[in-house]
Amino acid sequence: MVLGFNHNIRYKGEIFHIQTEDSGVATPHITTLLYRGGTIIASKKTDYADIIKVDNLGLVVEELMKDQHKEMLRRLKSGEFNERAFGGAGAIPPEAAGEETQQPLPRERSKSIDSFANSPARHQQSLDEIILDYLVAGDNE
């Protein structure tokens, strides 16, 4: 059984930390927290007490955790938390925030992370940004 996922992601020039963990069957909750500089920007808690009796609970909970973790990544990338994280929608000008023009992401799962990461538009992105884009793109198929 997976206990949790942790990722540091660079977004708009800042490092965000996303943490997802399972509290276990005694307190069946999956909690995802989004941090910036040690401050919680967003959280999501999912109760799974209603499925506690399923045969493959470990696998089901792991998938729920992955989905919730990726959802928080997508929400961050979409700009949903910009106001909370940066103090206002227009608080950071794009050039200071590390904004760049991106080409549309590939939609074919058959492409490897290598071909995804080596596309021309990716050469100016950090590894965190490439991984975030890959994770977000993987759920849109």
Give per-residue pLDDT as tens, 40-58: 999 999 999 999 999 999 9
pTM for the complete prediction?
A: 0.64
Q: How far is CA 70 from CA 34, 37, 78, in A?
A: 12, 20, 12
Question: Are 7 and 78 in contact, with CB atoms under 8 Å apart?
Answer: no
What pLDDT is stored for residue 87 in this prediction? 86
What pLDDT is stored for residue 2 in this prediction? 74
* Contacting residues for 141 by C-beta, under 8 A, at least 6 apart: 107, 108, 109
Question: Are 8 and 16 in contact, with CB atoms under 8 Å apart?
Answer: yes
Give per-residue pLDDT as tens, 76-113: 999 999 999 998 644 444 433 333 333 333 333 334 44
Burial class (CB in 10 A: 0-12, 13-18, 19+), 11: buried
Closest CA relative to residue 132, chosen from 43, 70, 65, 66: 70
